Amino acid sequence: MYNLYVPSDQIRSGIAYIDGEERHHINVLRLHVGDEIRLLDGVGGVYEGVISTLRRDEAIVRILREYRQSPVERVDLYQGLPKGEKFDLIIQKATELGVYSITPLLCRRSIPRIDGDKIANRVRRWNRIAVEACKQCGRAFFPKINRPKSFDEVLGEVKADLKLILWEGERKRRLRDVLREMVPGSVAILIGPEGGFEEMEVQSAIDVGFQSVSLGKLILRTETAAIASLSIVQYELGQLG
């Protein structure tokens, strides 16, 4: 059964009204009247129904069953903004791994900078990537994709039971070991850009309650570090494995 995104305000009295890009997607999928489909509203609602009407600009789905996905522990990713399209991959995989929010992080070693007039378009594009990833994996809670923020701005706003900064210079604490010391209700993870964090950034994070952790002996690319660290966190929280 294919998944489509429909905002909850477009579902009324057991009927869902699909327009825009999702209506076009029905054509791409070659769906017809009578085909069953699953709808995700982005805030936990799942609706299974049958296509009853297809118009040029709108599809109507009769809802047969509806239920809610249970929310999982909150995991927020603050990712050093990488070069090129690496951030697209990070959004896709972090979404599949159940992350609650993703914030592009501007660090001292960050190379890409986004002009102010392009930020809104970039965030919209990132949100589309997240929505497509949710549809692929059947996730009904869509992650929040934030605008790029400075390192200092993030340090001043993060609130989580467990605050972690991934650093290759850490020699004592591994991510897995810190997670096994407590059962956090929420986790915030900071991951640096291609050049990693500067030591003074790590110390600034520690000064406001972050713990520096490593992934072990391997030095990973920033996009791999994001996927690996989220996988470890979700495994230890019981969401994987």
- Torsion sign (Cα): 93, 99, 102, 105: negative
DSSP state of 104: E
Residue 115 predicted with pLDDT over 80: no
CA distance 151 to 165: 12
Listed residue (37, 74, 23, 87) closest to 227, CA to CA: 87
Q: Determine if residue 234 is left, alpha or beta; phi over 0 gives left, psi from -120 to 50 gives alpha, anything else beta.
A: alpha
What is the CATH architecture of 74-236?
A: 3-Layer(aba) Sandwich (3.40)
Mean pLDDT across the stretch 208-214? 95
74: helix, coil or strand? strand
User: Looking at the DSSP assignment, which residues form a beta bridge with residue 50?
Assistant: 36, 62
Q: How confident is the model at residue 137 (pLDDT cuts 50, 70, 90)?
A: very high
Mean pLDDT across the stretch 186-211? 94
Residues 6+ apart with CB under 8 A from 33: 51, 52, 53, 54
Helix (H) or strand (E) segment spanning residue 64 = strand 59-68
13-30, pLDDT tens digit by residue?
Answer: 999 999 999 999 999 999
Listed residue (208, 94, 112, 111) closest to 103, CA to CA: 94
CA distance 189 to 207: 16
CA distance 7 to 233: 30
The pTM of the full predicted model, rounded to 2 decimals, is: 0.91
CB neighbours of residue 57 within 10 Å: 9
| Tokens matching residue 182 | 């407590």
CA distance 49 to 34: 9
Residues of the chain above pLDDT 70, percent: 100
Instruction: Identify the residue whose tokens are 């952790």.
Output: 213
146: helix, coil or strand? coil
218-236, pLDDT tens digit by residue?
Answer: 889 999 999 999 999 999 9
CATH of domain 3-68: 2.40.240.20
Domain ranges in the chain? Answer: 3-68, 74-236
| Fold: same for 3-68 and 74-236 | no
CA distance 239 to 115: 37
